[in-house]
Structure 1
Amino acid sequence: MYEWKTFRTYLLTQKQGGKLMTQREVCMKLVQDGMLKNIYPQLSLAAEIFLIAPISTATVERDFSTMNRILTKLRNRLTTKHVDQLMRISMEGANTLNEEMKDEINNYWKKSKTSSFSSLNYIIELYIILFLYF
């Protein structure tokens, strides 16, 4: 609390071009100015958190919607790694396939036909291959 009281006094004496600084300018000054960071360590930490906090929750909500589309009742046993990779593919999209990638998919397809992979594992592995190339 002491830091805030002394910093408030400091702010009232600091004006840029005759006008008060915005919240963002104050936080940037707290984070970038080494002397202020040493004098007001707790306020500097709060300013860092304020500067990196998202302004809206739209991206987080979009990510949860993507996760809900991927994790269904039928696909509830995916590992965290697989979910992460599938979400990245879903959010970022896949690029067009080059010839090397097409050959890799064909080879994997032939290999999976001869082995005893389940179709879900095959799809997951195929998505992982796509993800690794992009």
Structure 2
Amino acid sequence: MFRWAAILFLLFIVGCGQNLEESQGHTNRQDIMNMGLEDDPSTTPTNPRSIERVGDTWGEKEIRDQMREAALTIEGVNVERIILEQDNAWVTVRVEEQLTKEEHEQWSEKVAEKISNAVPDYNVTVKVNAQ
């Protein structure tokens, strides 16, 4: 009889002795549902790439502007067209001089390198048009 009382007493202590509210790592269903919510949703989001800020800090227009600015750092280059498709960028530039085939390749590599340094996420292909 004493053994049964001791076993019941131990089960009671083990079962009632846990305080789950203060244990480390405990989450309830409401915590999980609130994980993605901001504390104060009326403030502007702190993530610069949030969907509400497309066009302000990122997007195709900004990437094209960065590519154009990088190409224009080379003297004598005018950007005619920039086409973006997934991770590919096709850039057409005009140079104000007559070029040989080797010079076309050199200009193309030079402009592609400048653009790739400015926007490394794209595979850049440059077409050079000469006067």
Normalised by the length of structure 1, the TM-score is 0.28
More helix per residue: 1
Give the TM-score normalised by structure 2.
Answer: 0.28
